[in-house]
Amino acid sequence: MEITVKQFVKEFKQQFQSMYAYSYEEGSNEQLYNALGLLVKNYISSHWKETREKYIKNSVKQVYYFSMEFLPGRQLKSNAYNLGLLDVVKEGLSELDLSFDQLAEAEADPALGNGGLGRLASCFMDSLASLGMAGNGNGIRYQYGLFRQKFVDGYQVELPENWLRYRNVWETRNDKSTCMVRFGGNVWLEENHQGHLVPHYENTLNVLAVPYDTPMVGYRNDTVNNLRLWSAEIPVEEEANYHTIEETEPIKEITQVLYPDDSNYEGRLLRLKQEYFMVSAGVQSIIRHFRKYNVPRKNIPDKVAIHINDTHPALVVPELMRILIDEEHLSWEQAWEITFKTCSYTNHTILREALEKWPIDMMKELLPRIYMIIEEINNRFVENTMPLYGERITWQTAILQNGVVNMAHLAVIGSHSVNGVAKLHTDILMNDVLKDFFELYPERFNNKTNGITQRRWVHLANPDLTQLIDEKIGENWKLTPSELKVFKGFEKDKDTLNKLTDVKLKNKKRLAAHIKEVKGITVDPNALFDVQIKRLHAYKRQHLNLLHILHRYLEIKENPSVDYVPRVFIFGAKAAPSYHYAKQIIKVINSLADLVNNDPDVGDKLKIVFFENYGVSLAEKIIPAADISEQISLASMEASGTSNMKLMANGALTLATLDGANIEIRDFVGEDNLFVFGLSSKEVYKLKENQSYQARELYESDQKLKNVLDALTNGTIPNLQDEGYALFDSLVNFNDEYFVLKDFASYVEAQNKVDDLYKDQSEWARKSLLNIASSAPFSADYTIQRYADDIWKVRSCVEEDEGVHLVDE
């Protein structure tokens, strides 16, 4: 976009004045940010409009990514960057004596997701726009995002996240495109005069779905797609029926707050309401938009692809059937053909406790018409499958089982494509979790390894690294990520390695200053920064990390001259509020931090920093400063992981089990350039199968391990209630569900190798460079290109010389 600094300065002043009626010099950071955001949005708006018009004019096939979660992060900088305006804006503001970075920090970070699944959705939005593909997001505009985490005496406390307090400049309320969503009541079918069976409803709760649209700006290609988030309101014409504030609650609460569960399912009625609300509004608005295309309904799958992000939006299947049958008057067979060709589904977890199963009674009462349709889908499925595959497979794959609706089964049966998010994960789906379906429909299964957007996670989060790469290999890699491999040619170049070390040190100094500011802890930027940032979950094994730190602490106490490389162990993790065990792990880590950080015998050898309120903005500060990336989940449990990719792209060396996408990271970077430890997924499966694992035996036979575990309960760690006992119990007395003790020795060994390598700084830098240079395959641009080619069948709408183009990998 062509705008001069002079023009920008003039327009910024005007914008500010028109909003606040005084001069920018008197503005607060929030006000200045709001003015700047609206001005940038103004620059976006013409492209937004033109992109939409172009899609309609050319009858372009559109993808709708349905997700209960999106985690876009702050948008000012990324929007300005993708527009090509960031330098102009920075320069203009500095002419006015304003700091861009300071204003940017005033933006609220919309925490409308829990973790990996929501962030992936937002990386995908960025890549879709940057590839010039017609891809829209569809989700919920939660009034409160994921809780704000605070530590009080080392315990996690949850506070509401009121991200909309100072307004949200990026969204546009779109009153022209509202929809009505119906819940409950009675429904029956009657034949109309054309002979169609049409449903009649009575006593339904009617909820108005109001869309808020946010522009998704492509990287320098004039493409602006749409993220549509729905908000629940009372229909205007029904306002008179509501007499008290309390009576309006059941409506307003639908989009009030995001459920704070990551990889966990709770059968709460309100959650089901949220899911159907988002799905119904989204599907209605798609069908309405489709009418603009003026093509026969049977061609819907040629013009529309709906993606189901985990099972949460799986009601898309019966909802699309409902609209096609009840409102468009198609036959069941016609409607099914369209639905199945339109929908595709991604699975993100194999954890049993995360698989959604709604009680039939609940579904019937809340969504009577939808339930009728699910029942019919199930009946037809059983009828078709039974004669071909017999009883066992048929009942194991049915949608309705033992009084519940199995949402994964609904999603698989209703979709033409089912994918996992890393090779190992997809293999596990095919051979274990969805094995019977793989027998029924092998052609539906495919892998799509996750990816991340380098634009946010490298170009913007790590400008000094970006500049170094530019200096060495030119700027092509920004538009053609595969070019990054050219950087490998510098692995022996002293100048490059020194500069790379300098960049990392600079980033670490910046993070050290932030640590000082928010935690009051002094850390040495020359120490090794060891990072584990992700949701707190037993399968991710933050407690394995904890045991290793405790082990080092005990060794230092026993022998203060022990030769450990100084380390800062950095954590960022929220625990689901009802996940007691995860919260106990947080408390133990925090208490250990108090002990270690204040023990003069320890000094700089060991520091522990547990950041509060980990999220996208904090990740952007931590990741560029990381030396080691902890990816230590029990093999087979982490579907993919994406922090592993972000950390690698920023030059951290991975310390990993062979789980999720770690395996593919190893394959690309080479075995010598990361640290692998622990059981393989095969070994995990075997151990589970033959039930031979005895955690207590390990505790009793390994003296070092015993010392560490005993330190959890013998008063070594101060200020614990029963948290140390809880950990000890789960690991020793309840046989250690995630094989922490089993992997402990090999983890410690790998950590010692990390120390050894860190002592050779130029060798460390060389491996770091190879990691950076091997990270391009994890660009979400490639991931999206594969979704587009294999599943959605959509193509770029921009000229080949515009924006991102993917020559090869």
Residues involved in catalysis: 348, 534-535, 540, 642, 646
Q: How far is the CB of 99 from ligand KOT (least distance, A)?
A: 35
Give me 98's structure tokens. 């304003």
Query: Would you say 767 and 673 are in contact if contact means Cβ atoms under 8 Å apart?
Result: yes
Instruction: Between 421 and 533, name the residue whose CB sits nearer to ligand KOT.
Output: 421
Q: Which range touches ligand KOT (CB under 6 A), out of 70-78, 246-254, 632-640, 681-689?
A: 632-640
641 binds ligand KOT (CB under 6 A): yes
Q: How far is the CB of 359 from ligand KOT (least distance, A)?
A: 17
CA 685, 688, 694, 698: dihedral to nearest 10 degrees? 20
Query: Would you say 564 and 754 are in contact if contact means Cβ atoms under 8 Å apart?
Result: no
Q: How far is the CB of 698 from ligand KOT (least distance, A)?
A: 27
CA 359, 363, 366, 372: dihedral to nearest 10 degrees? -150
225 binds ligand KOT (CB under 6 A): no
Q: How far is the CB of 238 from ligand KOT (least distance, A)?
A: 34
Q: In the beta sheet, which residues pair with residue 136?
A: 64
Q: How far is the CB of 451 from ligand KOT (least distance, A)?
A: 10
Instruction: Between 57 and 352, name the residue whose CB sits nearer to ligand KOT.
Output: 352
Q: Which of 736, 568, 722 is nearest to 155 (CA)?
A: 722
Instruction: Between 72 and 660, name the residue whose CB sits nearer to ligand KOT.
Output: 660
Instruction: Between 407 and 503, name the residue whose CB sits nearer to ligand KOT.
Output: 407
Q: Provide the H-helix boundaries in 356-405.
A: 360-366, 368-397
Q: How far is the CB of 661 from ligand KOT (least distance, A)?
A: 7
| Residues between 96 and 115 with contacts to ligand KOT, criterion CB under 6 A | 114-115
Q: Measure the CA–CA gap between 766 and 741, rounded to whole angstroms.
A: 33
Q: For residue 204, give the DSSP letter.
A: P
574 binds ligand KOT (CB under 6 A): no
Would you give the binding string for ligand KOT spanning residues 411-430, x where CB under 6 A is met? Answer: ----------x---------
Q: Which range touches ligand KOT (CB under 6 A), out of 375-383, 400-408, 470-478, 634-642?
A: 634-642
Instruction: Between 123 and 512, name the residue whose CB sits nearer to ligand KOT.
Output: 123
Instruction: Between 115 and 135, name the residue whose CB sits nearer to ligand KOT.
Output: 115
117 binds ligand KOT (CB under 6 A): yes
Helix, strand counts (H, E) of the chain: 32, 23
349 binds ligand KOT (CB under 6 A): yes
Instruction: Between 120 and 497, name the residue whose CB sits nearer to ligand KOT.
Output: 120
In 386-489, the DSSP E strands lie at 400-401, 404-406, 417-420, 445-447
Q: Which of 642, 713, 751, 768 binds ligand KOT (CB under 6 A)?
A: 642
Helix axes 740-758, 761-773, angle to 10 degrees: 110
| Residues between 308 and 337 with contacts to ligand KOT, criterion CB under 6 A | 310
Q: How far is the CB of 170 from ligand KOT (least distance, A)?
A: 24
Instruction: Between 218 and 641, name the residue whose CB sits nearer to ligand KOT.
Output: 641
**Angle at CA 782, nearest 5°, toward 781 and 788?**
90
Instruction: Between 114 and 796, name the residue whose CB sits nearer to ligand KOT.
Output: 114
Q: Measure the CA–CA gap between 119 and 110, rounded to whole angstroms.
A: 11
Strand 197-202 to 205-217 pairing: unpaired
450 binds ligand KOT (CB under 6 A): yes
Q: Measure the CA–CA gap between 601 and 596, rounded to whole angstroms.
A: 9
Q: Which of 261, 352, 277 is nearest to 315 (CA)?
A: 277
Instruction: Between 266 and 760, name the residue whose CB sits nearer to ligand KOT.
Output: 266
Q: In the beta sheet, which residues pair with residue 158?
A: 149
Residue whose entry in the numeric block shows the structure tokens 């809880």: 726
> How many of the other CB atoms lie within 10 Å of CB of 666?
18
Give 507-551 as a 3 state SS string.
Answer: HHHHHHHHHHHHHCCCCCCCCEEEEEECCCCHHHCHHHHHHHHHH
Q: Which of 514, 620, 646 is nearest to 76 (CA)?
A: 620
Q: How far is the CB of 555 from ligand KOT (least distance, A)?
A: 33
Give me 111's structure tokens. 């925490």
15 binds ligand KOT (CB under 6 A): no
Q: Which range touches ligand KOT (CB under 6 A), out of 380-388, 549-557, 596-604, 640-648?
A: 640-648
Q: Measure the CA–CA gap between 749 and 752, rounded to whole angstroms.
A: 5
Q: Which of 126, 319, 627, 638 binds ligand KOT (CB under 6 A)?
A: 638
Q: How far is the CB of 425 from ligand KOT (least distance, A)?
A: 8
Q: Which of 61, 289, 348, 646 binds ligand KOT (CB under 6 A)?
A: 348
Q: Which range touches ligand KOT (CB under 6 A), out of 190-198, 300-308, 372-380, 638-646?
A: 638-646
Q: Which of 92, 116, 318, 572 binds ligand KOT (CB under 6 A)?
A: 116
Instruction: Between 31 and 453, name the residue whose CB sits nearer to ligand KOT.
Output: 453
Instruction: Between 408 and 568, name the residue whose CB sits nearer to ligand KOT.
Output: 408
Q: How far is the CB of 283 from ligand KOT (least distance, A)?
A: 21
Instruction: Between 37 and 313, name the residue whose CB sits nearer to ligand KOT.
Output: 313
616 binds ligand KOT (CB under 6 A): no
Would you give the binding string for ligand KOT spanning residues 350-369, x where CB under 6 A is met? Answer: ----x---------------
Q: How far is the CB of 295 from ligand KOT (least distance, A)?
A: 34
275 binds ligand KOT (CB under 6 A): no
> What residue is closest to ligand KOT based on CB?
116
Q: How far is the CB of 120 from ligand KOT (least distance, A)?
A: 4
Q: Measure the CA–CA gap between 453 and 745, rounded to whole angstroms.
A: 35
Q: Binding residues for ligand KOT, how many (CB under 6 A)?
A: 19
Query: Would you say 98 and 32 are in contact if contact means Cβ atoms under 8 Å apart?
Result: yes
- φ/ψ of residue 341, rounded to 5: -75, -25
Helix (H, G, I), strand (E, B) or coil at 234: coil
Q: Which of 213, 262, 275, 723 binds ligand KOT (CB under 6 A)?
A: 262
Q: Which of 411, 284, 305 is nearest to 357 (CA)?
A: 411
- Cα 782 to Cα 11, 57, 387: the distances in Å are 38, 27, 41
| Residues between 652 and 691 with contacts to ligand KOT, criterion CB under 6 A | 660
Residue whose entry in the numeric block shows the structure tokens 């959604």: 356
Residue 593: CA count within 13 A, CB half-sphere: 24
Query: Would you say 260 and 317 are in contact if contact means Cβ atoms under 8 Å apart?
Result: no
What does 39-94 look like in DSSP terms, one character per residue? HHHHHHHHHHHHHHHHHHHTT--EEEEE-S-B-----HHHHHHHHT-HHHHHHHHH
Q: Which range touches ligand KOT (CB under 6 A), out of 227-235, 243-251, 574-582, 639-647?
A: 639-647
Q: Which of 86, 120, 179, 536 binds ligand KOT (CB under 6 A)?
A: 120
Q: Is 97 left (phi over 0), alpha (psi -120 to 50) or beta?
A: left
Q: How far is the CB of 749 from ligand KOT (least distance, A)?
A: 26
Q: In the beta sheet, which residues pair with residue 156?
A: 151
Q: Which range touches ligand KOT (CB under 6 A), out of 231-239, 347-355, 428-436, 697-705?
A: 347-355
Q: For residue 212, give the H/E element and its range.
A: strand 205-217
* Structural Rg of the chain based on CA atoms: 27
> Which residues in this chain contact ligand KOT in the complex, by CB under 6 A?
114-117, 120, 262-263, 310, 348-349, 354, 421, 450, 638-642, 660
